[in-house]
Amino acid sequence: MKGTELAVKFAVTPTGAAVDCFCVRHFGHSPVSWLFARSGGVAYNRPLVLVAVGRRTGRERSVVLPFFPTGGRGIAVVGSRGGAPTDPYWARNLRAHPEAHVSLRRREYRVRARLAEGEERSRLWKEIVERAPVYAEYQERAKGRREIPVFVLERSDGQPFGG
């Protein structure tokens, strides 16, 4: 097994995920996202850490996610789960509890999440797939079972990210 394969295997363990969250919060970069980008031959996109409240436990849950600008004050995250037939847990949690917070570029922000729908989702999906074509593959895998959700995260204080 190659070193990259071993690193990816470690990255998807709970310990690997915790190390990745730590790196994004404190250094602003994700070794896991970098490995996946490198192995997939795509550009590395600095991710964020999303902290949402678990819908069943009520406890905070953290996940590292790539994000995409929306053209407005928000940013978009995609609940692809690699095209699996069900949404990722973090997406289910956001539907139940839209108030969350993110670590982005080593800064913390309180956010409110909303599901993009209709024309807004179509526009965002097109832009996201142009930047990261792998999402089109994920939607094809999920075809007939679910539409991959796109969430828009907006700062609770109404300011743009980075401002």
Tens digits of per-residue pLDDT, 2-11?
Answer: 666 776 777 7
Rounded CA-CA distance 68/6 in Å is: 28
Rounded CA-CA distance 143/56 in Å is: 28
Tens digits of per-residue pLDDT, 75-124?
Answer: 999 999 888 899 999 999 999 999 999 999 889 999 999 999 999 999 99
Say whether pTM exceeds 0.85.
yes
The CATH architecture assigned to 3-155 reads Roll (2.30)
Domain ranges in the chain?
A: 3-155
